[in-house]
Amino acid sequence: MITLLNSTRCICILVPLCWWGLKMTVSHANPPRETPKWTVKSTDEWKAATESAEGLEVNQGQLVPTGEKTLFRSQLKQSESPRQLDRIEFTQPPGWTGWKSESNLGPAGGKDAAIFIPAGDKNYWYLNATRGGGVYGAWHSTDMQNWTHYPDVIGRDWVTTAEYANGTFYIYYDAPNDEDPHLILDNDLTTPEHQDLGKVFADPSHGSDSGIIRDEDGSFHLFYEDWSPLNARTHSWDSPLAGHTESLDGIHGFTPHEYPAPIDVRAKPTGKIGHYLHPTSEIPYEYEIHDGPQDAFGDYTLIKVGEYYYLFCDYHPHDGEIGLAYWFSKSLKTRFTWGGTIATGFHPDPSVGFAEGNFYLFVQRSDSFISSGPWTNGVTARGGVDVDGDGNIDQWTDWQTVREEYQSKPGFSKIIEAKAASLDLSTLPAGKGVQFEIKLDSSEERQPILDRVDVFWK
């Protein structure tokens, strides 16, 4: 129902969704977040909440370890009447470090960039070329350890990305290489039968290498390389500019430049046109020459974890070797924030997914990457209650390790729900005061940082 308001009356019009080709989506908003009774998140709030801090500092609103031995003790938060404590939640900033390089994470036999598709619990699919950039095969696993191979199921080159929805695989491939995403629909990857719908998006420039993600409202979002600002041949066929377009069904409605560029690190445009050759075309490609060095990114793969979308990609800095990096954002429809480099020295063409309690980041080399999640381990905490209001803690919980927990959102392959890192206080007696202590165990491999703490009581 659409409601039109003016100064004299309210008119209600019932309109069927998706008439006239309009892009209309149904909201699946999460319920309002419970309001904590005590929040510590800004620099001033951290300082006001601190009774003592050893080996720690507050830096830009975050609690950061500075030494091997750390202990944060909060002030005692008091109230006039007794209250029953519930829990403390701990939040880290949205970076994602801690990816570990390991061999044999996927099946053997692939000859190109892999595509990983978690199609549900115990239902994991892996696509890769079986003829050196030619016909694609499929591998299936229920445990990420043992794989069954189904050869030659897709007779197309240059598969770039895929999604899964309602029993159907949406497999996007470029034709020719590096431009114009085409689409295959397939509900059974064990056989070569499938439906090829042809081109579904006319790339505004050369350089597709797209990544797809189906969001929580069911819409499909395509992120693609835009080669208009550079000679992509000199930048590993990547670009400083990315585009983003959306389709309600993954087939129709993809439109160039539909949303603000999720990545845009272009140098100063000159208005001059340059030319270069691509291996698939005898006709030179055009681009606008820019004044100054430009870093390049591409071959995107996306996943949402908790509140954040993470975009992993090739990263070719103007003054360094190509590698693997990531960006993040709370919205698909805005500019993404640079996260950092994960590894260097290879052309990754990554594909990310969640399976068997871990996140996998497959790249086109023998070693790929595995992670337990964005949460950086090494956080322990305890909470205490002042029962009678005399300013002293009468009972503490045990010291406990706290961390986020993850699970796939039912019906989605790239939406991962995050359960907050939480310390249970409900077993403590009611009281007139609460206090908490935190230890952050850092090492050469990790540095846990806290962004905020929320205390809840009933």
Residue 433 placed within a domain: yes
Q: Are 451 and 61 within 8 A, CB to CB?
A: yes
Q: Are 275 and 288 within 8 A, CB to CB?
A: no
Q: Which candidate, 23, 26, 17, places its Cα nearest to that of 248?
A: 23
Residue 307 placed within a domain: yes
Q: Both 342 and 438 in a single domain?
A: no
SS3 44: helix
Residue 428 placed within a domain: yes
Query: Among 51-65, 272-286, 310-324, 340-354, whose mean pLDDT is lowest?
Result: 272-286
Q: Both 361 and 384 in a single domain?
A: no
- Final residue before a domain boundary, out of 371, 399, 424: 371
Pairwise CA distance, residues 52 & 73, whole Å: 5
Residue 387 placed within a domain: yes
Q: Are 76 and 385 within 8 A, CB to CB?
A: no
pLDDT per position as a tens digit, 274-329: 998 888 788 898 999 999 999 999 999 999 999 999 999 999 999 999 999 999 99
Q: What CATH number is given to the structural domain containing 51?
A: 2.60.120
Number of domains the chain is built from: 2
Q: Both 145 and 223 in a single domain?
A: yes
pLDDT per position as a tens digit, 245-258: 999 999 999 999 99
- Final residue before a domain boundary, out of 371, 400, 423: 371
Pairwise CA distance, residues 431 & 84, whole Å: 7
pTM of the model: 0.90
Give me the domain span that covers residue 387.
Answer: 37-92+376-457
What's the mean pLDDT in 260-265?
97
Q: Both 298 and 263 in a single domain?
A: yes
Q: Both 192 and 306 in a single domain?
A: yes
pLDDT per position as a tens digit, 364-388: 988 999 999 999 999 999 999 999 9
β-pairing verdict for 85-91 and 421-424: antiparallel
Q: Both 160 and 258 in a single domain?
A: yes
- Final residue before a domain boundary, out of 353, 371, 389: 371
